[in-house]
Amino acid sequence: MNIEIRKETPNDYFETEAMTRRSFYNVYGPGCDEHLLVHKLRTHKDFLPECSRIALVDGKIAGVIMYFKCIIHGEEGDVTIASFGPLCVDHKYKNCGIGRRLLEETIPLVKEAGFPGIVIFGEPEYYPKIGFRRCREFGITDMEGNASDPFMGLELTEGGLHIKGGRFEESSVVEECTEEALAELEKNFPPLKKLSKPCQWSYENAYDDREGYHYEYATHFPKAFECLFKEYEKEADDDILKEIWENFDKTPYVLFTGKEAFGIFVINNETEPVIEHLHLKKEPADAEKMKAEVRERLAKANKTDGAYE
């Protein structure tokens, strides 16, 4: 697989937006608007094209990272920092290290551009592996005074994000991503079915101290999913796993209690949502009880139109 990282050109615009749309559709909620952010950023005053990059696999766009300027208001004045979004990889190329490549090749560019740090809202299980820390460790909050787990930062200079009384203000590009603008942009793409799913990850619900069991997208925890799936299938053919990862209508999940992965399931949405695989790493009696509970919980979420809530 030949991976190329380079700047985006006008000839790439439509393909980048289409890839972003495929990557995020129905992930955090029904539909998505991340491709609209890509579309709006290119002409916005805060955009940092010199730091942004696309990834290509065998000549086709497979990922993108878009950087832009934001402000942290501190007691001693405002500090301009960088943020990025979206960072995404096409479903068929997930788990190939493309997202990490995009980060590793662009973070030095942001540092060279003179920014003291990067602040994002992202997946709290992933970004700490790249060196990001919770913003509350720096004493930074959002404009409402909140500092949830997905609110993270990476210092590029010593003490660059230790800003006394720091309050993070997002770029105004977010205000341009309206429902009307999304509806207009959507006219350029083939229709996709909007679905509510049982594990649509949201920043507001992503905390480390969740009680009971919860679902997470397997693409965020591929090794845990593959290990449990092969245990479930015993001598599972890797072609089965590949088909699950690449099929847009199949959504694999890992089940957790706290941070311990204890099971998997796959939702097949090709006709209506059904559980295609369900496996739990527990004693037989506990497994059957838990399976019944999981199925009951998913059944309650099943709407009449075949979507999940």
Each residue of 117-163: pLDDT tens digit?
Answer: 999 998 887 899 899 999 999 999 999 998 888 899 999 999 999 99
| 189: exposed, middle or buried (Cβ count in 10 Å: 0-12, 13-18, 19+) | middle
What's the confidence (pLDDT) of residue 26?
82
What's the confidence (pLDDT) of residue 154?
98
Which parts of 48-178 fold into alpha helices (H)? 98-112
Domains of the chain plus CATH, in order, are 3-186 (3.40.630.30), 203-301 (3.40.630.30)
Mean pLDDT of 199-205: 49
Q: Quote the percentage of the chain above a pLDDT of 90.
A: 51
Mean pLDDT of 235-252: 80
What's the confidence (pLDDT) of residue 267?
82
Mean pLDDT of 222-245: 83
What's the confidence (pLDDT) of residue 216?
76
What's the confidence (pLDDT) of residue 199?
56
Other Cβ atoms less than 10 A from the Cβ of 151: the count is 20
**pLDDT tens, residue by residue, 35-70:** 999 999 999 999 999 999 999 999 999 999 999 999
Question: Nearest Cα to 105, choosing from 1, 220, 6?
Answer: 6
pLDDT class of 205 with cuts at 50, 70, 90: very low
User: Rounded mean pLDDT of the chain?
Assistant: 85
Strand 167-169 to strand 141-142: parallel, antiparallel, or no bridges (unpaired)?
parallel
pLDDT class of 252 with cuts at 50, 70, 90: confident
Q: What is the pTM of this model?
A: 0.73
- Is residue 200 a contact partner of residue 29, using CB atoms and an 8 Å limit? yes
